[in-house]
Amino acid sequence: MVLLSAGLGACSFFQGELMQGSFWASNPFKSNDEAELGIANLAKGNYVAAEGNFQRALKRNPKDIHALLGAGILYQNTGQLTKAREMYEAVLAIRPDESQQFVVWSNISTRPASQIASVNLSLLDSGDVTGAIGAAGTRGGPSAMTAPVPHTPKVSSAPSTSAMLGRPPQMSAPMPRSGAALPSVPSIGKFAGGDSNVISRFATIRALRDQGLLTQQEFNSRRRANIGALLPLTAPPPSAGLDRPVPSTEQITGRLRAIGRALEMRAISVTQHAAERNMILDALMPSAPVVVANPKAPPHGLMEAADSVRRLEQLRDTGYIGSDEYAKERQAIELVMQPKQPERAPVAQTSPAAQPGQPVRMQKSTGPSPAIHLASFRTRKSADRGWAQIRRAHKNLIGDLDHKITKVNLGRKGTYYRLKAGPFESAGEAKSMCGKLKRRRQFCEATVME
């Protein structure tokens, strides 16, 4: 009777439970084939079928790492960024171990699923940065696929923040749709040509400082070393090459945020993060320029002076320079435009002992003569020592010239001692000498001296 009762109970269990699909769907020993089918359809570009596979896989097991990551890649490549973010955050919340890996198609290697989710999430945050560590694709680990994996067909509707899915990163972002709002960037004003590239660099470091990606100390040092690009007459020459094209502010800030998130998730080491960050910032605006640009020539004529003043006002109004910097630079422009004193003709003086028929001695009157400005120092002693060093370094060019040290009060900046050398026969000779010294990486500016 006991055996008969147990047999009847087992029959009812088989009919009520084992014969229903819900029991087998929850069986932990049954692999979730839907996730693998979804990844296969994703690789083929069948996004509709892949989405259905991932949804069914997550219905069976909401913590399926491969279904979550595959769905995140699908949503990111189809522009559904909110859903993609949810999938990646779910992967990171589960904290999968290192054995949960996906294949990186670009170099046929595997990476942890958490690392791929972290980097793709960083791409979403960056907004316009592509490809961080390669293209991730199919399920890996101990049973990783060894057969060749087809590349994903390019989808025209995929945004520039495409997930790592086995296709080369897009080199340019898609054009915005009509009426779409563009992200706000610092105003560059009405600058053109190489000048706009220079302003763009200053706008970017200002944005990096405001967003906390650059410390105030780093901002001050990099700006101080290159402010001569904005104030050519009152600041030392900046780093060479600031007028070259530069990536947009969004691209640079996005990349810095991406490597910062990768560091937080331990996808890269501290050394790798520091090296890439310094490389980006030094390429943007170095704090210690290796090659210095040649000093910009002062404006010639009223039209060029007016353009310089107008440019200076735009820099002040947009906040790239302060009021004090504006006043000093404008004063320097006005000083350059002041009419020069006419050279006095030699005065003929007859010696008291001169006799009729003897040659008359000509004696030049003293006055400003063309010269060159070589450096500025804080003390007169430093200026004397600097003259000795510069003369020794360029003895074959300026060894026969005299020097003069002029004390100049620059207000809040303090007192400086300007080192000048001369005299020259003409201003043209002074400029020619400056050209030779600049080729030797020596600062030089044509000026006058008593």
Q: Is the same domain home to 204 and 132?
A: no
Give the CATH number of the domain where residue 98 resides. Answer: 1.25.40.10
| Higher pLDDT pick, 192 / 116 | 116
Q: Is the same domain home to 159 and 268?
A: no
pLDDT band, very low/low/confident/very high, at 18 (cuts 50, 70, 90): very low
Q: Is the same domain home to 371 and 422?
A: yes
Mean per-residue pLDDT for 415-439?
Answer: 88
Q: Please report, for residues 133, 228, 341, 371, 378, the alpha-carbon distance to residue 408 in angstroms, rounded to integers and kept in the order given.
A: 55, 19, 21, 17, 10
Quick check: 364 pLDDT over 60?
no
Considering only 218-222, 251-255, 374-378, 407-411, which range has the smallest mean pLDDT?
407-411
Q: Residue 118 falls within a domain, yes or no? A: yes
pLDDT in tens, 179-214: 333 334 444 545 655 688 899 999 999 999 999 999
Quick check: 50 pLDDT over 60?
yes
The conformational region for residue 72 under phi > 0 = left, psi -120 to 50 = alpha, else beta, is alpha
> Which of 284, 310, 329 is where one domain is finished?
284
112: helix, coil or strand?
strand
CA dihedral 267, 268, 269, 270 (to 10 degrees): -110
Ordered DSSP codes for 420-444:
EEE--SSHHHHHHHHHHHHTTT---
Q: Is the same domain home to 305 and 266?
A: no
Q: Is the same domain home to 155 and 72?
A: yes
> Which of 123, 153, 169 is where one domain is finished?
169
Quick check: 108 pLDDT over 80?
no
Q: Position 254: which residue type?
A: G
Q: Residue 140 falls within a domain, yes or no? A: yes
Q: Is the same domain home to 137 and 80?
A: yes
Q: Is the same domain home to 205 and 276?
A: yes
Residue 166 and residue 216: Cα distance in Å, rounded?
40
Q: Is the same domain home to 277 and 308?
A: no
State residue 210's pLDDT score: 93
Considering only 1-15, 134-148, 246-260, which range has the smallest mean pLDDT?
134-148
Q: Is the same domain home to 311 and 383?
A: no
pLDDT in tens, 269-309: 888 889 999 999 999 999 988 888 887 778 888 888 888 88
pTM metric for this prediction: 0.44
State residue 207's pLDDT score: 93
Alpha helices in 211-359 (DSSP H): 216-226, 249-264, 270-284, 301-317, 323-337
Alpha helices in 153-245 (DSSP H): 194-210, 216-226
Q: What are phi and psi of 389, to 5 degrees?
A: -70, -45
Considering only 16-20, 400-404, 419-423, which range has the smallest mean pLDDT?
16-20
Q: Is the same domain home to 37 and 146?
A: yes
The total number of structural domains in the chain stands at 4
Percentage of the chain exceeding pLDDT 90: 14
Considering only 48-62, 152-166, 320-334, which range has the smallest mean pLDDT?
152-166
| Torsion sign across C-alpha atoms 119, 120, 126, 128 | positive
Q: Residue 362 falls within a domain, yes or no? A: no
202: helix, coil or strand?
helix
Q: Residue 346 falls within a domain, yes or no? A: no
State residue 291's pLDDT score: 83
Percentage of the chain exceeding pLDDT 70: 70
Question: In angstroms, what is the C-alpha Rg of the chain?
Answer: 36
Considering only 71-75, 90-94, 96-100, 388-392, which range has the smallest mean pLDDT?
96-100
Residue 435 and residue 450: Cα distance in Å, rounded?
22
Residue 350's CB is within 10 A of a number of other CB atoms, namely 10
Mean per-residue pLDDT for 100-124?
Answer: 73
State residue 407's pLDDT score: 87
Give the CATH number of the domain where residue 417 resides. Answer: 3.30.70.1070
Q: Residue 389 falls within a domain, yes or no? A: yes
Q: Please report, for residues 311, 318, 322, 336, the alpha-carbon distance to residue 315 in angstroms, rounded to integers and kept in the order given.
A: 6, 5, 9, 20
Q: Is the same domain home to 53 and 138?
A: yes
Q: Which DSSP category does 183 fall into? A: P
> Which of 284, 318, 351 is where one domain is finished?
284
Q: Residue 202 falls within a domain, yes or no? A: yes
Closest C-alpha among 229, 234, 205, 227 to residue 217: 205
Note down the domain range covering 399: 367-449
State residue 9's pLDDT score: 57
Q: Residue 161 falls within a domain, yes or no? A: yes
Q: Helix-strand-coil percent breakdown of the chain, rounded to 5? A: 50, 10, 40
Q: Is the same domain home to 445 and 322?
A: no
Q: Residue 119 falls within a domain, yes or no? A: yes
State residue 112's pLDDT score: 83
